[in-house]
Amino acid sequence: MDEGIEPLTFWLSIIGLGTATFLIRFSFLGLLKEGVLPAILVRLLRYVPVTVLPALIAPMLLAPQPASGEINLLWVTVALLALLIGIGSKSLLATIISGMGLLWLLQWLGF
């Protein structure tokens, strides 16, 4: 019978992953001289949310249940509507809020 992960293994994993995350971020931000990012890096970092959001959402939309091969049409519809709102508003926050609001509304209405 499976009793789960050993507590020592669990805590060593948490501490190790936390340390790795800190070191990765520190190597990028902590080693900067004077704590100021170069202008080109600041410009490039503006595109991070725009690239991360689709990378998080696309797998869920295109392969939510890989074994069954079914695509949830409600999620795809809401994603397309949120995309249109995002294009129109040019606001990441408005896109996220409207997308979640539309999803909850359509689910509440029984779609």
> Tell me, what's the pLDDT at 15?
97
Report pLDDT for 64: 67
Q: Write down the pLDDT at residue 34.
A: 72
Return the exposure string of 68-107: e unless at least 16 CB atoms fall within 10 Å of the residue's CB, then b: eeeeeeebeebbebbeebbeeeeeeeebeebbeebbeeee
DSSP state of 70: B
To which residue do tokens 């990012």 refer? Answer: 37
Higher per-residue confidence, 104 vs 41: 104
pTM of this prediction? 0.56
Query: Are the beta carbons of 71 and 64 closer than 8 angstroms?
Result: yes
Averaged pLDDT, 60-73: 74
Residue 44 has pLDDT above 80, yes or no: yes
Question: Cα(103)–Cα(111) distance, rounded to whole angstroms?
Answer: 9
Q: What is the mean pLDDT of residues 80-98?
A: 91
